[in-house]
Structure 1
Amino acid sequence: MLKFSALAVSLLACTSDTRDLERKIDALSTRINTLEARVGAGARAQPPQRPRRPEPEPKDVFAVSIEGLPFRGPADAPITIVEGYEYACPACNVARQSVKQTFEKYGDKVRVVYKPYIVHPDVAIDSSVAVCAAHQQGKFDAMDTAVWEKAFGTRDFSAAKLSTVAAETGLDMARYTKDLPSCRQSVMQHHAELEGFGQGATPTFYINGRYVVGASPAKLHAVIDQELALAEERISAGTSKADYYATWVIGKGLKKFEPKS
C-alpha cells in the first residue's frame, strides 16, 4: 500500500474541506488497491500452453514399410520392431542399449529394422544418407557403429567427416559417392512416411506396427509381450512366420494416422 502523507498535506493546502479531502484519499486508495490486485493476478497467470501434438492410440497398428531397409535379427521373427531414428539424437544413442537388452531378452523372436526419421535436418540428414550408402554395399552394421562412435561421438556430421568414416569402414568410395543422391531421396521418403504415421520425435518404435515413443526397455517389452502372445496365437492358427509382418501389419495396418477431432 502506498503512503499518502505527502499527498494529504498537499491537498490540505488546496482545500479547507476536510471531508472532501478524505473522499479524495479514499477514492485514490481504492484505485491503487484495484491496480495492485490486477498486477498480482497478472503475475500469477500462467503463459498459454502450446496445444499437445496428437499421437496415435496405443492399440493402433500402422503398416510401416520395411522393404530394402537394414535390420538385425531373423527375417522371419514374429516380432518386427521398426525404429524411427537419426544419428544426431542423444536419445537414439541411448536407445542402442535398450535394443541390445531387447535382443538379450527375446533372442530370435525379434528383429529390429532401422528407418530414418530426421529431427535435426541441418546435421542429421547426411549421416543417414551415408549409412544408407553403406547399406547398399552390405556394410550397414559397420557404418552404423562407426557413425555413432566417430560422428556422433565428436558431434561432427560434415560430409568430409562422413566420407572419412566411410573410407575407414572399407567402403568402395566411388560407389559410395554414386549412391548418395538416391540414398538422400530414400531417406526423405522414409521420413515422410513416418511423419504420416504421427511421428514427431526420435526414437519412436513400431512394434508389429504399434507406436511407442521413447527408449524405456520396460515400456518396449510390455508391448512386445502383448504382440508376441498374439503373433504366436496367429502362427499356431496357420499364418507362416515368414509372412506374419506382411499379412498382419502391412496387410491390415493403418496406412496413415488420422487424428481424432
Structure 2
Amino acid sequence: MSRNNPARTKSRATSARNDTARRLRPGGNKKFLAGLALFAAVCLLSLAVFQMLGAEDSDASAGTASTDPRFAELAKVARRDAADPLALGRVDAPVVMVEYSDFQCPFCRTFGRKIEPELIARYVDQGVLRIEWRNFAIFGPESENSARAAWAAGQQGRFWEFHNTLMANAPEKKNTGELTPERLAELAAQAGVADMAKFRADQQSQAAAAAIGKDAAEAYALGASSTPTFLINGRPVLGAQPVEQFAAVIEAARAAAEQAK
C-alpha cells in the first residue's frame, strides 16, 4: 500500500500552520495561548523523537513500541476523557491510539474505510483499544468545513456515524467544491444527527473553530506534518499502513501495559 511522503505535504502543512497561527494570534484567547505555549514546551523532547521516527521504515520492529522510554512524553497526549465525543472505546483501555486525520486526505480515507473497521472489531470492541480522533485539517477550506461538521456531529453523539458516512462519500480529489456546509449537513442527517438547527449553529460556532485549532496546534507541536499520523501508547505510526502493522504495535503496547500493572 502506498504511504504518505512528508516532503509532498510540507508546503501544505506550512500553509496550514500559518493559518492556524493567524487564527490564534494575540488578541484571541490568552488563557488558551498560555496553555498552548506550556504544551509546546513539554513536547520539545517528543518533537525530536517524532521527527526521527518519521524517517524510519514503516516495517521497523514494533517491539520497541512497548519499551522505548522516548515515547513516554508522547503517550501523555492521550486525553482519556470519558466525555470526549470524538473518542471510541473504553476510557480505561490499555492502549490508546490518537489519530490525527483530515477527511480530504486519500490515505485517511483508505485507513477509515478499510483498516480502522478491522481495528475496531478486533480491539475496540474487545476493550483493548481506545481511538481518540484529532481534526488535523491541513488541505484547505473543505478540510476545515469537514472538521467543523464532524465536531458539530459529535456534540450530538454522532461523530463516528458522521465519520463513516463522510469517509464513504468524500470526493476522491481535494477541494472540488463539493464539501460545502450544506452538503455536510446532508451527510450529517444521513448519519442520524437529529437536531439540524443545532448542528448548523455548532458547525459555524467559535467553539468549533477553537477545538479544530487546538487539535492542529497539538499536532504541529508534536512535529506531525502529514496525515494520517497516529500515536499508539506514544509510538508514532505514519500513514495508512497495513492492518497487521497496526496490530503489531497494538499488541506490543498491550503486552507492555499488562506487564506494568
The TM-score range, normalised by the shorter chain, is 0.5 to 0.7
2:233 paired residue number: 208
- Give the Å deviation of 1:65: 4.3
1:160 paired residue number: 182
Contact 2:85/2:155, CA 8 A, preserved across alignment: no
Inter-CA distance 104–166: structure 2 relative to 1 (3 Å threshold): closer
Return the match for 2:258 from 232, 239, 245.
232
Q: Which moved more, 1:155-164 or 1:90-99?
A: 155-164
Per the normalisation by structure 1, the TM-score is 0.64
Inter-CA distance 143–103: structure 2 relative to 1 (3 Å threshold): closer
Structure 1 residue ranges without an equivalent (≥5)? 1-49, 236-261
Residues 162-205 of structure 1: per-residue CA shift (max 9 Å, x gap)? 12222343431221122222112201110110111111111111
- Does residue 117 of structure 1 match 2:142? no
Q: Which amino acid aligns with 2:219?
A: L
Please give the alpha-carbon distance, in whole angstroms, between the structure 2 residues aligned to 1:232 and 1:139.
32
Return the match for 1:99 from 116, 123, 130.
116
- Does residue 196 of structure 1 match 2:215? no
Please give the alpha-carbon distance, in whole angstroms, between the structure 1 residues aligned to 2:115 and 2:155.
26
- Give the Å deviation of 1:64: 1.4
Identity level (%): 27
Superposed, which structure 2 residues align to 1:127-206 within 5 Å?
A: 127-152=146-171, 156-171=178-193, 172-180=195-203, 181=205, 182-206=207-231
Please give the alpha-carbon distance, in whole angstroms, between the structure 1 residues aligned to 2:157 and 2:185.
17
Residues 115-152 of structure 1: per-residue CA shift (max 9 Å, x gap)? 11122023211101101101001111221122122344
Question: CA-atom RMSD, angstroms?
Answer: 2.4
Contact 1:69/1:115, CA 8 A, preserved across alignment: no
Inter-CA distance 82–69: structure 2 relative to 1 (3 Å threshold): farther
- Give the Å deviation of 1:160: 1.8
User: 4+ residue runs of structure 1 moved beyond 4 angstroms?
Assistant: none
Contact 1:82/1:205, CA 8 A, preserved across alignment: yes
- Give the Å deviation of 1:153: 6.2
SS of 2:127's partner is helix
Q: Which amino acid aligns with 2:188?
A: A
Inter-CA distance 133–64: structure 2 relative to 1 (3 Å threshold): same
Inter-CA distance 65–228: structure 2 relative to 1 (3 Å threshold): closer
Structure (1 or 2) with the larger CA radius of gyration? 1
Please give the alpha-carbon distance, in whole angstroms, between the structure 1 residues aligned to 2:254 and 2:192.
38
Residues 198-219 of structure 1: per-residue CA shift (max 9 Å, x gap)? 1111111110122110121233
Structure 2 residue ranges without an equivalent (≥5)? 1-6, 11-47, 54-67
Q: Which amino acid aligns with 1:186?
A: A
Inter-CA distance 113–151: structure 2 relative to 1 (3 Å threshold): same
- Does residue 90 of structure 1 match 2:106? yes
Contact 2:150/2:162, CA 8 A, preserved across alignment: yes
SS of 1:138's partner is coil
Inter-CA distance 194–69: structure 2 relative to 1 (3 Å threshold): farther
Please give the alpha-carbon distance, in whole angstroms, between the structure 1 residues aligned to 2:129 and 2:232.
10
Count of residue pairs the alignment pairs up: 185
For CA contacts below 8 A with separation 6 or more, give which structure has more relative contact order. Answer: 2
